[in-house]
Amino acid sequence: MKIALTVLICMLLFVSAKAQKVTLKEKDASLESVLMKIKDQTNYDVFYSGNLINRTNPVTINVKKKELLLVLNDIFRKQPISYSIANQTIVWCLKRGIKKVERQPEGVQIIISDLPDPLVPGVIVNQLGEPMAGVTIINLKDSVHRKSASDKNGRFTIAATRGDLLAFRSQGHKENLLFFRGEQSLKVQMFEKVLEMEGITVESKVKEKLNLNTQIDLTNRSYMNLGQVLQGTVPGLTLQILPSNRKKVIGVNIPTTHGGLKMTYYTVEQYLQYDPRLGQRVIEALEKGQRLPLGSGIVLPVFSTQSSVTLVPELRGSASFGNTEGMMIVIDGFPIEEFPADYPMANVESVQVIKDPKELIKWGPRAMAGIILIKTKDGKFNKLRISYSTNMYYSRNLSIMSMI
Q: Strand order of the sheet with strand 176-179? A: 147-149, 136-139, 165-169, 176-179
**Residue 222 CB burial class (10 angstroms; 0-12, 13-18, ≥19):** middle
Residue 398 has pLDDT above 70, yes or no: no
Q: What is the pLDDT of residue 204?
A: 66
> 260 and 156, same structural domain?
no
In a domain, 198, yes or no: no
In 10 A of CB 250, how many CB atoms? 11
In a domain, 46, yes or no: yes
Say which amino acid occupies 227.
Answer: G
The number of distinct structural domains making up the chain is 4
Say which amino acid occupies 8.
Answer: L
Q: What is the pLDDT of residue 114?
A: 42
In a domain, 373, yes or no: yes
Range of the domain at 250: 246-304
Rounded Cα–Cα distance for residues 95 and 99 (Å) = 9
In a domain, 400, yes or no: no
> 30 and 74, same structural domain?
yes
In a domain, 203, yes or no: no
Report pLDDT digits (tens) over 93-150: 776 544 444 444 444 443 333 445 677 889 999 988 999 998 999 988 755 667 888 9
**Residue 132 CB burial class (10 angstroms; 0-12, 13-18, ≥19):** buried
**Residue 35 CB burial class (10 angstroms; 0-12, 13-18, ≥19):** buried
Q: 2-18 and 68-76 are packed helices; what angle lies between their axes, rounded to 10 degrees?
A: 90
DSSP code of 170? -
In 10 A of CB 121, how many CB atoms? 12
> 269 and 219, same structural domain?
no
Report pLDDT digits (tens) over 231-253: 777 777 777 777 767 778 888 88
Contact 88, 44 (CB under 8 A): yes
In a domain, 291, yes or no: yes
In a domain, 65, yes or no: yes
Residue spans of alpha helices (H) in 19-65: 31-41
Residue 318 has pLDDT above 70, yes or no: no
Average pLDDT of the segment spanning 204-216:
60
In a domain, 159, yes or no: yes
Of the two residues 381 and 169, the one the predictor is more confident about is 169
> 321 and 227, same structural domain?
yes
Report pLDDT digits (tens) over 340-356: 888 888 888 888 888 88
> 336 and 227, same structural domain?
yes
Report pLDDT digits (tens) over 275-308: 888 889 998 888 888 888 888 888 888 888 777 7
Report pLDDT digits (tens) over 345-387: 888 888 888 888 888 888 888 788 888 888 888 877 777 777 7
Residue 392 has pLDDT above 70, yes or no: yes
> 140 and 46, same structural domain?
no
> 264 and 127, same structural domain?
no
> 269 and 366, same structural domain?
no
Q: How far apart are the first and last CA of the chain?
A: 102
For residue 359, give Cα distances in angstroms to 5, 184, 223, 256, 400. Answer: 34, 50, 30, 53, 66
Backbone torsions φ then ψ of 67, nearest 5 degrees:
-60, 145
Report pLDDT digits (tens) over 8-41: 444 444 445 545 788 988 888 888 888 888 888 8
Pair type for strands 136-139 and 89-94: unpaired
Interacting residues of 69 by C-beta distance below 8 A, sequence separation 6+ = 14, 17, 18
Average pLDDT of the segment spanning 48-71:
81
> 343 and 222, same structural domain?
yes
Report pLDDT digits (tens) over 41-53: 887 888 777 777 7
